[in-house]
Chains A and B, each alone.
Chain A
Amino acid sequence: MPQNDLKIGVFVCECGTNIAGSVDVDTLVEEAKKMDSVVYTAKNRYMCSEPGQQEIKKAIEEQKLDRVVIAACSPRMHEPTFRECVSAVGLNPYLVDMANIREQCSWVHMEDREKATKKAKDIIKAYIARARYLEPQEEKEIPVTRATLVIGGGIAGMQASLDLADAGYQVFLVEKEPALGGIMAQLAKTYPTMDCAI
């Protein structure tokens, strides 16, 4: 079930003219306002910039936002930035989501402002709808046993073992044959140095 008592903040980025050049950002902000649970909207010239991030942080704290939708570039670009940004003011990083209105909208429909704006509106609304179902997630941390298994005692296995052993880690080197060296040990000489392989 969607949560109804949510406080969603929507932040629309102009990205200079990258977004604002081909979609009408003001319309997007107005449309976002009409959506259920949206209690705060804003636009910024560069949402990812320090002032842009400050604006998000301030709104989260002042408006007690518990979900954030950022309509900007691809999450593949700035999702880590905004996850860090909201974490800094105590919001779980999985409660922020990005509506990609740049790579997948403003940049690819540059000749039809009306239809591009309509599509951007759809994208933002879909991500607001999705935000109502977002749940906090936890990145569990587990300890790492400080030892490595190396399978194969040829030149590659030996080199990897030595590097790790020299760094102070325990290495278990498992070799099927009775001796180390693999195929390299059978070579008379190796290029480009033309020296002995053993």
Chain B
Amino acid sequence: MMDVGRHPNIKLLTCSQVESISGYVGNFHVRVHKKARYVVESECTACNDCVEVCPVIIPDEYQQGLSSRKAIYIPFPQAVPSAYLIDMNNCLGTNPIACGKCAEKCDKKCIDYDMKDEIIEFDVGTVIVATGMDVFDPTPLDEYGYGTYENVITSMEFERLLSAGGPSDGHFIRPTDRRKPKTVGFIQCVGSRCEQRGQPYCSNICCMNTIKDTLLLKDHYPDIEAKVFYIDMRAFGKGFEDLFKRSKEAGVQYIRGIPGEIIEDSKTRNLKILVEDTTANKMEEHEFEMMVLSVGVTPRLDMPEVQKLLTLSKTPDGFFMEAHPKLKPVDAPTSGVFFAGCAEAPKDVKDSVTQASAAAARAETLLAAGKVKLEAITSELNADLCRFCTICAQACPYKAITVDPKKKTISYIEALCKGCGTCGAECRFSAIKMKHFTDEQIVSQIDTYLEEDSYDKVIIFACNWCSYAGADTCGGARLQYPPSSRLIRTMCSGRVDEKFVLHAFRKGAPMVVVSGCHYVDCHYIDANRWTQKRVEKLWDKLERLGIRPERLLLEWISAAEGRRFAQTMQDIEELRKKVTKEEIEHTIKILTEEEEKERQKQEKLKK
């Protein structure tokens, strides 16, 4: 922390929040709101004189509320920056007449009740999101009585109680009678691995944290009896199994089973539990003088604010989504933005440090080069054809397009475009051209494929990242499938315009398949949701026109799913065989008439 505070290349802004970020990779403009500290940071010597005279006493957050602080305070003795601040929500008033004791006492005169919030602006080339995590609050789980039974504490409170700088100066005491407990029980997975109560995922750090806690406890107080109740003990990292073994050797008992309830003895304030030991297959009763809930990790509550600043996405667990879970685990889908630490997923200190160094290296790749090549496959706007309907702006996952329908203006930042082509597929006025995947290019492929013997060919639109790659994987594994498929590559399934599908049917295709990445894996954040919507609309339209909607399929196939691709092709072949030449002819007739009607309508509109 001190290294950061004194580094000449780091400008540290505490009590600060990013208010807005504009621009794009290499060229972000940042506005930061720095809240007033009411103590001049550079002048304060942390002498503590002000604290002694402050009359306000409130719970200390840093100590998990286990002790108190004043309204003027320093979060903890080693804090960086080493300067006090006034908590204005609790100060008796900015008006010195109301109190003003601290300002009076301060020799350096560095307390300024009139200090104003500041807006600081600067430019950067890259952004690292290291916003961290929240700790699960077990209060809603009334079976454990946290908040009611004082001797039930969380693992975070345990940390403070055992810390030399903690509220009890490192002496482990139980809250009700402030004496050392003889027995301590730990309950694992509190708020983790549970769909209904807490989070469905494993929080990654709690098993090792408890093992560490039991070792600390046994080191300090070998006579304390400690038992851990768990579902699985996950000691998977380097050196972790050793610690687990040491803990067991130190006499800590590990019992596989999670207690259903904690009951307090109102006289002794001891805690009783009933648990099924699933290794011994028997019900057991235990009594402890103190219990620790090993609480899990949750996404930060304020994540949506950061998410909006940088157009990020979240995975279903609520943490930030990476550009690719295997190959780009540090990059955000937005160029020039990287993740470090628990913002991306729960991590321990070592993993956070590892990812932070990786994020720094990824950022440095851009910074060292000093220049960045922009995507050449982007969309191109023809403002003359635009009717300001805003659909493109809604569809763009990167907010590269802004439309003001009242002022009839449209603006487009090409550097933000990643080239999914969803805007082009949604635009009904041909105002957007998708470079390298233009309407003409795609239609020419459809036409060529269906020129001869169209009835035994299936047109498959496949997105570059998942389903086209899945077809390649299938080839690599030499998985055989019927030779009726004809693939057309697009960057994203979001590019597949309604008119491409209808064109293929009009040219005699018995079956058309739109395929893309699985819903949450879209390489363009959520562009494939537009694919889904569009295909659903098309199904309705086909039905209305008297064309069997079953002839249009929507398939999600990942890059790894070669087998699924082959199976899908097999299944489609069966469906294709059921489409008769008469049915195809009928479809061609319907759609040719429909095209003519549409053409006449367009002509009228032009007039």
Contact = CB atoms under 8 A, between A and B. Distances in A.
B178 interface: no
Given A130-B441, A150-B128, A172 B30 contact: yes
Chief secondary structure at chain A's binding surface? mixed
Nearest to B357: A163
A163 B30 CA distance: 21
B194 to A, nearest CB: 22
Interface centre among A100, A146, A179 (most CB of B within 10 A): A179
Contact of B160 (A102, A165, A188): A188
Contact of A115 (B78, B130, B216, B483): B483
Contacts of A74: 468, 472, 475
A197 B12 CA distance: 20
A27 interface: no
Contacts of B472: 74, 76-77, 100, 103-104
A108 B476 CA distance: 9
Contacts of B373: 139-141
Interface residues of B, number: 133
A149 B340 CA distance: 12
Contact of A76 (B124, B166, B468, B566): B468
Nearest to A92: B376
A46 interface: no
A180 B478 contact: no
B26 interface: yes
A187 B348 CA distance: 12
B389 interface: no
B440 A142 contact: no
Nearest to B21: A149
A95 to B, nearest CB: 10
Interface string A103-120: 111011111100110110
Interface in B487-520: 487-489
Contacts of B485: 104, 119
Nearest to B374: A140
Interface stretch (B111-119, B205-213, B521-529, B580-588): B205-213
Interface string A127-138: 111101111011
Contacts of B349: 155, 184, 190, 197
A108 B11 contact: no
B367 A137 contact: no
A162 B128 CA distance: 12
B67 to A, nearest CB: 13
Interface of B: 1, 3-5, 7-18, 21, 25-28, 30, 32, 37, 62, 64, 74-76, 78-81, 85, 122-133, 135, 156, 159-160, 162-164, 166, 170, 208-209, 211-212, 215-216, 237-240, 242-243, 302, 306, 340-343, 347-350, 352-353, 355-357, 359-361, 363-364, 366-377, 414-415, 435-436, 438, 440-442, 444-445, 447-449, 451, 457, 464, 468-469, 471-472, 474-476, 478-481, 483, 485-489, 566
